[in-house]
Amino acid sequence: MTKMRPESVAKQAPEKGHKGKNLLALGALGVVFGDIGTSPLYSLHTAFSMEHNSVDVTQANVYGIISMVLWTITLIVTVKYVVLMLRADNDGQGGILALVGLLKNRGTAGAFVAVAGMLGAALFYGDVLITPAISVLSATEGLTVISSRFESLVLPLSIIVLMVIFAIQPLGTEKVGRAFGPIMLVWFVVLAGLGIPQIIEHPEILNSLSPVWALRLVMADPMASFILLGAVVLTVTGAEALYADMGHFGAQAVRKAWFVVVMPSLIITYLGQGALVINHPEAVSNPMFYLAPESLRIPLIVLATVATVIASQAVISGAYSLTRQAVNLNLLPRMVIRHTSSHEEGQIYMPMVNGLLFVSVMVLVLVFRSSESLANAYGLAVTGTLVLASALFVLYARTAWQWAWWKVALFVVLIGVPEMLLFASNSTKIVAGGWLPLLVAAVLIVVMRTWQWGSASVATRREELEMATGEFLEKLDEKERSTTVGSGLKKVAEVAVFPHATRDTVPLSLVRCVKDLKLLYREIVIVRLIPENRPHVPQMERVTMEVLHKAPIRIVRLDVHVGYYEDHDLPRILHEVDPSWDDATYFLSALTLRSRLPGKIAGWRDRLYLSMERNQASRTEAFKLDPAKTISVGTEIHL
């Protein structure tokens, strides 16, 4: 046997100039920052509501609440995510699973890392479900500020807007970001413009920039402040989506948009809302819309509604990215992935994910019916993801960046402890709605663990049926010698490709092809896709070729290393290795799976796995194969 590494030309990413970087930053406003950018619609409204806290609306208390908000944004979003975690990219990709991949690459993939990554991803999906519902409801609820007669329109209008959000997803994040970026820029300018007059009218609100006022509030009423944290966390919703969506636009564009536009606008609008509540306590019922003069409230509601569409886009894009990583890491079954950009590889659309999210969000809106009710469910998903992401980040910073212990301690004190307090505060709302993200996370973890278990079980059964490579080659030599005396083996002067996951055996489809169909191709290519814990594998490291058998029948085994963010496009990969394989026939092992426990309660796990396996995307589509050149050879396996 001989091994070689085929030569391939590395793809050069086009360099982006200053104008291109500004356009990326503008696009990031339309996709990455929609969620956190619409938090002012409901966060302070929730914080000031009697349902979420019992703090009196006094000047000192308002200063304390605004100080809490501003320092929560500074520590968690600015310091943790924008400054630190965006540096922890896995070849340009972000998100909690990307962080898990980085740790696995460094050999620190213990049980905690695997469980934390899976749980964090599951909680993020809870965030994805709640964000579109709460954002759109909070925008349309602005109609009640104009007149209580419009209250009956809130729910139907929210449903219509949500239908539009999910209907435009096939257009892709590139087109959506291009269209929504300028709108979000207007939204952030409006946020700042509405806040400035209130700050001028009550400049003392700038005292809230000092953390002293937050500490005074905590010292004065610790229990009320603890409960209040459950609403304060709503100001940092979208922080994890910011990290997960990094691959769409790059860390530099995300940072530029945050520091130049988003952070200043959020600080100004929260200061303005605080000043408004001090001067006009009746505005506490909905401080965002009371910031605007009465004549401008309808245009503000329209703009806010459009902004919530964009906020939903941020988390939906993050869900696509996270799901793709989960599929390639074998946490979820194969799904159809459609690319929506010819030059940005990370911009994708997943029809199944979009459909499931749409149905789930509609159910939430119809069940909870108001943003205030959904706020109880929202915080636990957000804070749970924050805590898990911090734990994984500290582990990575310590092992990869060799952080000194004092840096770790500083991170834990300034960021970890506040996040734990936020999580603890939201845990008190489990009965009132916090059960929702926990239920979503529990279901997803069961799904992921079942898929891992079923995949491992099927792989074991396959290995039992497959023939060892050495044994197959010996039998092939025997058949070759016997062809002259009429063994019935038909030789085909073409190339056949057999995708296969195991190195030491040959595919079932190849065994059946030779043994039952009596077909033997001139050249046989066995392709093994090896998933890597990084999003992209350099071209020069991608393919290793091993010649198992030479003339007259040539058998080649290819080991193809693929990142979790890359397509499994076999024809393209094989063309890069040898263009003469372009007309090859592909053989797939079509497995018919059966449960060993049919009809029994104990067989629920079998049935769940079989249901996912039957409904996953076909390998023909996943491998980008031409159906006219693909043959499936069936085999039955019992779990």
Mean pLDDT of 151-171: 86
How far is it, in rounded angstroms, from Cα 126 to Cα 10?
Answer: 39
Mean pLDDT of 557-582: 86
How far is it, in rounded angstroms, from Cα 360 to Cα 374?
Answer: 14
The pLDDT, as a whole number, for residue 138 is 84
Three-state secondary structure readout of 574-629: HHHHCHHHCCCEEEEEEEEEECCCCCCHHHHHHHHHHHHHHHCCCHHHHCCCCHHH
The pLDDT, as a whole number, for residue 221 is 85
The pLDDT, as a whole number, for residue 315 is 75
How far is it, in rounded angstroms, from Cα 50 to Cα 65?
Answer: 14
How far is it, in rounded angstroms, from Cα 213 to Cα 71?
Answer: 11
C-beta separation of 606 from 596 below 8 A = yes
Mean pLDDT of 541-566: 85
What percentage of the chain exceeds 90 in pLDDT?
24
C-beta separation of 419 from 385 below 8 A = no
H or E element in which residue 428 lies? none
Three-state secondary structure readout of 57-86: CCHHHHHHHHHHHHHHHHHHHHHHHHHHHH
The pLDDT, as a whole number, for residue 204 is 94
DSSP letter at 11 equals: P
- Bridging pattern class, strands 490-499 and 585-594: parallel
496 forms beta bridges with 524, 585
Phi, psi for residue 210 in degrees, rounded to 5: -85, 135
The pLDDT, as a whole number, for residue 67 is 95
Q: Which of 528, 525, 469, 529 is nearest to 495 (CA)?
A: 525
Q: Which of 244-248, 391-395, 536-540 is modeled with the greatest confidence? A: 391-395
**pLDDT over 70 (residue 41):** yes
**pLDDT over 60 (residue 297):** yes
**pLDDT over 80 (residue 156):** yes
Per-residue tokens: 598: 């049919």
Phi, psi for residue 387 in degrees, rounded to 5: -65, -45
The position carrying tokens 């065994």 is 511
Q: Provide the b/e sequence for 440-465 (b: ≥16 CB within 10 Å).
A: bbeebbebbebbbebbebbeebbeee
Question: HSE of 564 in the Cβ direction (CA atoms, 13 Å)?
Answer: 31
Mean pLDDT of 373-382: 80
Residue 95's alpha-carbon distances to 117, 328, 385, 530, in angstroms, are: 10, 14, 11, 22
H or E element in which residue 631 lies? strand 630-638
Q: Which of 410, 407, 411 is nearest to 390 (CA)?
A: 411
The pLDDT, as a whole number, for residue 14 is 38
Per-residue tokens: 209: 């920039």
Q: Cα-Cα-Cα-Cα dihedral of 91, 175, 22, 242, to 10°?
A: -50
How far is it, in rounded angstroms, from Cα 116 to Cα 389?
Answer: 8
pLDDT in tens, 604-614: 888 888 888 88
pTM above threshold 0.85 = no
The position carrying tokens 């605080």 is 274
Going by pLDDT thresholds of 50, 70 and 90, the confidence category of residue 485 is very low
The pLDDT, as a whole number, for residue 613 is 83
How far is it, in rounded angstroms, from Cα 361 to Cα 313?
Answer: 13
Mean pLDDT of 164-189: 79
Three-state secondary structure readout of 379-412: HHHHHHHHHHHHHHHHHHHHHHCCCCHHHHHHHH
Mean pLDDT of 478-502: 71
Q: Which of 93-102, 295-304, 311-320, 462-471 is modeled with the greatest confidence? A: 295-304
Going by pLDDT thresholds of 50, 70 and 90, the confidence category of residue 515 is confident
Per-residue tokens: 585: 């026939």
How far is it, in rounded angstroms, from Cα 316 to Cα 164?
Answer: 13
The pLDDT, as a whole number, for residue 417 is 94
Of the listed ranges 85-99, 162-176, 391-405, 422-436, the one predicted with least confidence:
162-176
What letter represents residue 497's amino acid? V
Q: Which of 273, 274, 239 is nearest to 258 (CA)?
A: 239
Neighbouring C-beta atoms of residue 621, cutoff 10 Å: 14
How far is it, in rounded angstroms, from Cα 225 to Cα 421?
Answer: 10
C-beta separation of 341 from 179 below 8 A = no
Of the listed ranges 20-24, 259-263, 394-398, 492-496, the one predicted with least confidence:
20-24
The pLDDT, as a whole number, for residue 612 is 87
Q: Give just the sign of the alpha carbon dihedral 68, 70, 71, 77.
A: positive
The pLDDT, as a whole number, for residue 635 is 72
**pLDDT over 50 (residue 472):** yes
The pLDDT, as a whole number, for residue 1 is 47
Mean pLDDT of 483-496: 67
Residue 13's alpha-carbon distances to 197, 463, 614, in angstroms, are: 46, 41, 38
Average pLDDT score, the chain: 82
C-beta separation of 233 from 69 below 8 A = no
The pLDDT, as a whole number, for residue 598 is 59
How far is it, in rounded angstroms, from Cα 197 to Cα 200?
Answer: 5
The position carrying tokens 């990290």 is 243
Q: Can you give the length of the chain in residues?
A: 639
How far is it, in rounded angstroms, from Cα 513 to Cα 494?
Answer: 14
**pLDDT over 70 (residue 477):** yes
How far is it, in rounded angstroms, from Cα 151 to Cα 140?
Answer: 9
pLDDT in tens, 315-364: 787 788 778 878 877 888 888 877 665 555 556 788 889 999 999 999 98
Dmax (CA) of the chain = 102
DSSP string, 540-573: GGTEEEEEEE-TTSEEEEEEEEE-TTS---HHHH
Query: Any idea where the domains of the chain sit in the sequence?
Result: 18-452, 467-638
In CATH, the architecture of 18-452 is: Up-down Bundle (1.20)
468 forms beta bridges with 505
SS3 499: strand
What percentage of the chain exceeds 70 in pLDDT?
87
555 forms beta bridges with 524, 549
Phi, psi for residue 514 in degrees, rounded to 5: -80, -45
pLDDT in tens, 44-92: 888 776 555 566 788 888 999 999 999 999 999 999 999 999 988 877 7
The pLDDT, as a whole number, for residue 193 is 95
Q: In a 10 Å sphere around its CB, with 0-12 CB exposed, 13-18 middle and 19+ buried, how is residue 413 labelled?
A: exposed
C-beta separation of 127 from 385 below 8 A = yes
**pLDDT over 50 (residue 250):** yes
